[in-house]
Chains A and B, each alone.
Chain A
Amino acid sequence: MADYKLIGHDYTTPEMLAKVTGQAKFSEDIRADGMLFCKLLLSPMPHARVLKIDASEALAMNGVAAILTPDDLPEVTVPPAGLTPFALTGWTERALTKEPLYEGEPILAVAAVDEVTAAEAIEKIKVDLEPLPFVIDPLDALRPDGPNGRTQGNVFVGHVGIDSKDIQALKWTAKDFGEVAAGRLPWDAKATVETSVGDVEAGLKQADLVLDETFFIQSTAHQVLEPRSTFAYWQNGKLYLYGSTQSMIRSVGPIARWVGIEPSQLVYISEYSGGGFGSKINSYPYVAIPALLSKKTNRPVMLRISREAENYIGRMRPGFQARIKMGFRKDGRVTAIDSFIIEDPGPYELTGQAEQAAQVASNSYQPLATRFRGIYVATNTPPKGAQRAPGLPQSVSMFEPLISKAARKLGLDQVEIRKINAPSSDSKFGVREPLQNLTSAYVREALDRGAELFKWQERKQRVSQRSGPKVRGIGVSVGSFTAGSVGYDGLLLVKPDGKLYIHQGIGNFGALAVMDTARVAAEFLGMPWKQCEVVWGSSGKHVPWSSNSGGSQTAHAHSRANYATALDLKRKLQEIAAQQMGGSPEAYEVDNGYVYRKDNTGSSLAFAKAAELAIKLGGKYDGHEVPQQVNALTKASVAALAGQGLIGVAKDEFPRKGATQGFVAGFAEVELDLETGVYRIVDYTAVADAGTVLHPRNLGGQILGGSVEGFGHITTRNMIYERQSGRLVSRRMYQIRPPSILDVPLEMNWDAVNIPDPQTPVGIKGVGEPPVGAAAGAVLCAISDALSRVDKDIIYRTPVRLDRVLAALGSGKIHDLLAAYA
C-alpha cells in the first residue's frame, strides 16, 4: 500500500459544519421578496382521463397568482443519443398529466402568495375525471380477462432507456393461473424477455440438488430525508433553479429539456441534498412546475413537496413475483440458475431490475449456466426507479435463502458454500453474451475477514443452544454491484492566492464522494488539504463534466478524473518551473504548495507565483486553450475560468478492461421469539471489497448506512394498496415503516479488505450499493437459520413481519403468498 498523506485518512469534510449547525441551505430554505408558493392537485384515481378543469373560482381568490396545467408544458423531445438511461426518467413521464396513470400523479399546480391560500385554491378547483381501467397487482394484469394498466397494453418490451416505451398486451392462460392459486408461478407461462448463458437445462440435470421455489419481494418507497422541493426564478432570460439532486452537472440537460430551454439558459444550484437513494439521479420532471409558474408570474416560486406526496412521486423500488430454479453439486458449487421474474415498474417504463437481479446473482454465485426470463408489467402504482442497488436486495432475498437451504441439505457451512461459489479477479459474469470481465474481486478475502470478526465458528456453536421461547440464528450473505465508470473530466485551478480550487460536478447528497475524490487531486499534487477549496453545488461555478452520482460510480470515476487532472496540473507546474529556473520539467517535483528541483539546489517556485506566471503565459496554462478530448461542458467551464490562474483540465483516459464491481460480505445474528414472531437483529458485521480505502470514516458510514437500508427491506418496509379502488392506504412513515435507529444493533462492525483494484489508478472502487444487499441477505438467512432450529423452512415473502414469522411457525395463516401490495 502506498504511503499516502490524505488517501486512507479521516478528515472533516468541508460542508460538515454547515450541515450539523443547520447553516446549510437546502432548496426548501430559500426565501425571496415577492415569492409565491405553489401546491399540486394530485389524481385521486389510479387511472383516469381529465375531461375538464374549471379553475375559475380558484383564480378569483385573493392572493392566487396563476395556474399551471399540462397544456402549459413544453413539448419534450426524445433525448439525444448518449444520454444515460437515468436521464430518460421523464421521457414519457411529465410534470403534469391529463391522463393520470397512478393515484397521486400531479394534474395541475396553483401558485399563490402563501401555502394556505394555494391549498385553499386547489380545493376550489373542479376537475372532471373519467375513470379508466386500472391494475395494482402485476399478476392481475396477466389474467386472461385482466385489466391493462395502460390503454395500449400491459407489458413493456425492449431495453431500459432504449425503446422501453413500447407497450404490448400479454395474457397468461387460465391453466397458468391454476398454478398461481396454488402459490407457484407457472413455469411455462409466457415471458417477454429471455436471455441465457450456457446450457441451463444441462446444468440443472447434472446437479445433485435442485431447489425450485416461488418468491414475492415487496416494493419500497424511497422516502429520502429531503423531499424533492424546488425553488425557481428568472433573471435576464436565465432560469435560476434550486433543487435537490444526486448529480449536479448531469441534471442540467434533463432540467433544461423539461422546462423547454437550452442548457446555457439554466443556472442550477444544488449545494446540499438530503439524500436520493437513486430517486434524484438527474433531478426529476416536477422541477418544471415552479420554473414555468415563475415564468408565467414573473415572480420567484417555491414548490415544497409533502412527505405524503413523496410516496407518490418520490419513486419506489419495483417489487418482484418470481420463481427460481437453482442447481447445486454435492460440494455446494452452483451448476445453474434459472430465473423467471415479473417486475412491477409502475406505469411509465421498465426499470430492468428483474434482469439486474439475475445479473448480480451471476456475479456473486458464478453459476456454470444461467437463464433469465422476465416480464415487465405496467401497473397503476407510482413509477418505480433505481433505489440504492437496483435489483440487488430483490436478488439476495431470493437467492441467499436458497443457498442457505442448499447448505443445510448438503451439510455444508454457510460461509464455505459462499466461498466455493464466489467470483475472483479472473471471473466473468452476466446473463447475456458476451460475459463481462471483472476488474477485481476479493470476495473470499471479505468472507474470511468477516467470519473472523464475527467469530462465525464460535457463534455457530453458541446459537444452536435454545433458551425459553427464543431461538437464535446467524446468516451470511454476499452483495455485489457496479462500482465505477470511466471517461469523465476533472478541473483544477491554482489562483495567485496559492490555493488549489478543485471543481467538482458531482452532487453533494450525503455520500460525500464530492469531497473525498477531491482529496485525490490534492494527494498527487502534494497540496496540504487546508490550502484546498472544493468548488461544488452550482452550474454557475464552472464545474467539469462528471459521472452520474448513482450506481456507486463517483468514487471510482472521479478519483480517476482528478488523478488525471492532477497529473496535467503537475506537468504544467513542472514546465513553468523549468522555464523560470532552467532544466527540464522532469527535474522538478511538487509538494506542499511548491514546485522544486529534485536535486536539492534549493530552487523552488510557490504555486501562487506559478499561477501568476500561468496568467502571463496564457494558452493552455490559464485555460485559454483546452484539450480537444474533454466534454463541451467542461470546455465552457474552462473558458469561464480562463485567465484566473493555472488551470489543470483532463479527461480520464486510463485503460480499463472489464466491469468494476464492488462486493460486501454481511454477517448477522438474530434473536427470534417463537411466541410472538418478533425478532431482533442483535449483531451485524460487514466487510467490503471496495478497493483502496479513500476515507475510512465515510466508508464505514456508507457500509453501515446501506446495511440499515438493507435491514428495512427484510424487516418492515412495505406499501399497501386497497385493491378495489387502487388507492394507497399506507401513507405515513409509521405505516410504511423504515427501520429506526432503535431497530438496529447498538454496535455494528465494519471493515474493508483494502486491496487496490489493479485497473484503476489509486485502486478505488465504489461502495454505496453492495452493503444494502449483503445486509438484507444476511438478516434473511439469519431468520431462516433461527427457524431451522424448530425445523421450519426458509421465508419466501418479504418483508418478514411477525405475522409472516408466526405463519412460518405454523400457527397463523397468511393470505395469498403472491399477492402484491398486501
Chain B
Amino acid sequence: MAEIRDVIPAFELFQPNSVANALGLLDKYGQDAWVLAGGQDSFDWLKDRIKRPKVVVDLGAIEELKEIRSVGDGLEIGATTSLTEVARHSVVKQRYRVLAEAAENVASPLIRNQGTLGGNLSQDSRCWYYRAGWPCFRAGGDLCYADSPTGMNREHAILEASGCMTVNPSDTAPVLLVLDAKLVLRSRHGERVINAEDYFVGPVTDVRRLNSLQPGELLTAIRIPPTWAGAQFYFEKVRDRQVWDFALVSVAAAMRLSDRTIQHVQLAVNGVAARPLRLRAAEAALQGKGRTEQAAEAAAQIAVQGAEPLQHNGYKVTLMRNLIKRAVRGGAEATWAS
C-alpha cells in the first residue's frame, strides 16, 4: 500500500467541558482516543497519517485546566495554560523567573499562544526518523536509524541512550526539575501526584514513550512549591535559530547562596537524553563550595562523565559542559547585545 504524508484522516471529535467528562471519554475509547491540547505536536502526527486515532478528545473547552492559582505559598498551573500566559504571569515572573524564561524560549510567539504547558511537558520525540514514520524502536520496530554508521544524528542523545537515541524536546521540563515541581495526574480511578522528574522516562524504562502517563490518565496541573521561590536562577537554551527551534542543549539552575558559598543548588539539562536530567553528582560537588570558575569547571566535568557521542553530535558534550559552567557562574552570558 502506498504511503502519503498529507491530509488528516477523518476522526470523531469530542470537546468535553470538564475534566470528569474528558476522563469518561478516555475511559470509554481507550486506545482509540487521542488527547489534544494545543495541537502543536498532535497535528503534525495526524497530518502525516502516522498516528490515526478514531477519536480525538480536545481539552480546549475545559476552563478548569487553564487556571494559574496560588496554593499555599506555591503555585498551581493548569495543564492547558498557554505558554504565553505562563511566561507573562506576574507571580511566575516574580518568584519563578526561570520558568517564565523557559516558556518564553519555546518555539515562536504563535506556537506559544497556542501551545500549553502540559503539552510542552508531554510532547513526543522530534527525532526525524521517528517523526517521518520510520519503523524504529520507538515506533515498535527493531533498530535505531540514528545509531547506525550512516545515521544523521547531530540532534540526538549523548547520555542514557539505550537502543533509541532520541532526546526530550521540552524547554520547560528541566526548569520544573530544578523547581521540585509536582505533576497532578488524574484518571477515572483517582488522582496521583508525582515528582516532575518521575514523569519523564528514558528508553530503558519504556522505549515507546517519553512520559509515565497511563492509559486513561490526564496531566491536569503542575504544582510549584515555594522551596525555590526567589532563588538565583539560570536558564539558557542553545538552538540553531532564535525562533521555532528545539534545544540542542538547554540548562536550568536554581541556587541559594550564603555570601559567596553555594548553600543549595539544583541543576538540570535537556536535549541530551530521552528525558530531562537532574545533575545530582554535579550538584553534590558544588554544595558548600564557593561560586568560582574552578568549582563550575569541576561540576561541568562531572556532569558530562559517561557521555557517549555519536558521529555528528560530539559538540553537545562541549556545549553541555559550557552551559553548566555558565549556570553555575550565573550572570548574563545568555543575553545578547542586539
Name A804's closest neighbour in chain B (CB-CB): B315
Cβ-defined partner of B242 (8 Å) among A42, A673, A740, A822: A740
User: Across the interface, do A116 and B248 meet the contact criterion of CB distance under 8 Å?
Assistant: no
1/0 contact string of B305-338 vs chain A (CB within 8 Å) = 0000001111101110011011000000100111
- 1/0 per position for A701-742, CB-CB distance to B under 8 A? 000000000000001100011111001011111110101111
B2: chain A residues at CB < 8 Å are: 41, 44, 122-127
Q: Are B154 and A803 in contact (CB under 8 A)?
A: yes
Q: A675-B325, A729-B129 are in contact. Are A807 and B315 (CB under 8 A)?
A: yes
A806 to B129, CA, bound (A): 26
Residues in B whose Cβ lies below 8 Å from that of A720: 128, 152
Q: Name A734's contact: one of B49, B152, B242, B245 (CB within 8 Å).
A: B245
Segment from A25-33, A211-219, A240-248, A809-817 that makes contact with B: A809-817
- Stretch of A547-555, A629-637, A677-685, A767-775 lying at the B interface: A677-685
| Across-interface contacts of A80 in B (CB, < 8 A) | none
* Structural contact, A729 and B243, CB atoms closer than 8 A: no
CB distance from A661 to the nearest CB of B (A): 33
Cβ of A801 under 8 Å from chain B: yes
Q: Which A residues, 122 to 147, have Cβ-Cβ distances below 8 Å to chain B?
A: 122-127
Q: What are some 23 contacts across the A-B interface (CB < 8 A)?
A: A41-B2, A116-B7, A123-B1, A123-B49, A125-B1, A125-B2, A470-B333, A676-B319, A681-B338, A682-B336, A720-B152, A722-B129, A722-B151, A722-B152, A732-B44, A734-B244, A734-B245, A737-B241, A740-B243, A743-B243, A803-B312, A806-B319, A815-B311
Partner of B238 from the list A125, A306, A676, A739 (CB cut-off 8 Å) is A676
Task: Identify the closest chain B residue to A309 (Cβ).
Answer: B6
Interfacial chain B residues near A675, Cβ < 8 Å: 322-323, 325-326, 333
The CA-CA distance from A745 to B338 in the complex, in Å, is 7
**Shortest CB distance A361–B (Å):** 29
Q: Mark A790-822, 1 if CB is under 8 A from B, else 0.
A: 000000000001110011000111110000001
Q: Is A612 an interface residue (CB 8 A)?
A: no
Docked-complex contact A671 and B336, CB < 8 angstroms: yes
| Interface residue? A468 (CB, 8 A) | yes
Query: In the assembly, what is the distance between CA of A120 and CA of B9, in Å?
Result: 8
Most buried by A among B4, B49, B317: B4
**C-alpha gap A54/B135 in the complex (Å):** 25
How distant is A733 from chain B, measured CB to nearest CB, in Å? 7
Write out the residue numbers on chain B whose beta carbons fall within 8 Å of the beta carbon of A120.
Answer: 9
| Candidates A115, A468, A739, A813; contact of B333 at CB < 8 Å | A468
Q: Are B240 and A716 closer than 8 Å at their CB atoms?
A: yes
Measured CB to CB, the nearest residue on chain A to B128 is A729
CB pair A731 B132 closer than 8 Å: yes
Residues of chain B within 8 A (CB-CB) of A729 are 128-129, 132, 152
A815 CA / B154 CA spacing, docked (Å): 10
A746 at the interface (CB under 8 A from B): yes
Interface residues of B in 240-267 (CB under 8 A from A): 240-246, 248
What's the dominant secondary structure at chain B's contact region? loop
Cβ-defined partner of B6 (8 Å) among A119, A721, A724, A732: A119
Cβ–Cβ contact B7 & A115, under 8 A: yes
Is there an interface contact between B3 and A44, defined as CB atoms closer than 8 Å? Answer: yes
Given known A126-B1, A126-B2, contact A743–B325 (CB-CB < 8 A) = no
Main secondary structure on A side of the interface with B: mixed
Tell whether, in the assembled complex, residue A119 and residue B319 are in contact, meaning their CB atoms are under 8 Å apart: no
Q: Does A469 contact B (CB under 8 A)?
A: yes
A737 near B319: Cβ-Cβ < 8 Å: no
Q: Are A815 and B240 in contact (CB under 8 A)?
A: no
* Cβ–Cβ < 8 Å partners of B326 in chain A: 675
Interface residues in chain B, defined as those with a beta carbon under 8 Å from any beta carbon in chain A: 1-10, 44, 49, 108, 128-129, 131-132, 145, 148, 150-152, 154, 238, 240-246, 248, 311-315, 317-319, 322-323, 325-326, 333, 336-338
Which A residues lie within 8 Å of B10 (CB)?
116
Contact A39-B6, Cβ < 8 Å, known A723-B150, A739-B241, A802-B238: yes
Nearest-neighbour CB distance to chain B for A139, whole angstroms, equals 15
Q: Is the CB of B4 within 8 A of A41?
A: yes
CA A722 to CA B7, docked complex, whole Å: 25
- Shortest beta-carbon distance, B64 to chain A, in Å? 32
Residue of A676, A739, A811 with most partner-chain B CB within 10 A: A676
Q: How far is the CB of B45 from chain A (nearest CB, A)?
A: 12
Q: A119-B9, A721-B152, A803-B315 are in contact. Are A469 and B241 (CB under 8 A)?
A: no
Is A308 interfacial (CB-CB < 8 Å)?
yes
Q: Contact check, B244 vs A740: say whether CB atoms are below 8 A apart.
A: yes
CB–CB B323/A676 < 8 A: yes
For B337, the chain A residues whose CB sits under 8 A away are 671, 682
The 6 A-B residue pairs with the shortest CB-CB distance, nearest first, are: A119-B7, A812-B315, A803-B315, A723-B150, A675-B322, A682-B338
A806 touching B318 in the complex, CB below 8 Å, given contacts A123-B2, A671-B336: yes
Residue of A nearest to B6 (CB): A306
B49 and A119 contact, CB distance less than 8 A: yes
Is A735 a contact of B318 with CB atoms below 8 Å?
A: no
For B5, the chain A residues whose CB sits under 8 A away are: 306, 308
Contact at A740–B108, with CB atoms within 8 Å? yes
Greatest chain A CB density within 10 A among B2, B10, B150, B325 is at B2
Contacts of A308 in B (CB 8 A): 5-6
Residues of A within 8 A of B325 (CB): 675
What is the CB-to-nearest-CB distance from A394 to chain B, in angstroms, rounded to a whole number? 21
From B7, B129, B241, B338, contact of A746 by CB (8 A): B338
Residue in B7, B131, B242 whose CB lies within 8 Å of A39:
B7
Q: Nearest Cβ distance between residue A215 and chain B, in whole angstroms?
A: 20
Identify A737's interface contact among B150, B245, B314, CB under 8 A.
B245
Q: How far is the CA of A268 from the CA of B128 in the complex (A)?
A: 39
Closest partner residue, chain B, to A718 (CB atom): B240
What 0/1 pattern do residues 307 to 328 of A give for CB contact below 8 A with B? 0110000000000000000000
Interface residues of A in 450-470 (CB under 8 A from B): 468-470
Chain A residues with CB below 8 A from B318, complex form: 806, 811-812
A678 surroundings in chain B (CB, below 8 A): 238
A173 to chain B: closest CB distance in Å? 24
- On chain B, the residues within 8 Å of A745 by CB distance are 338
Chain B residues positioned under 8 Å from A715 (CB to CB): 240
Closest to A678 in B: B238
Return the chain B residue nearest A746 by Cβ.
B338
User: B241 and A716: CB pair below 8 A?
Assistant: yes
What residues on B are CB-neighbors of A814 within 8 Å?
315
State whether B314 touches A813 (Cβ < 8 A): yes
What CA separation (Å) do A814 and B313 show in the bound complex? 9
Q: Nearest chain A CB to B4's CB is how many angstroms away?
A: 4
Flag if A812 contacts B7 (CB, 8 Å).
no
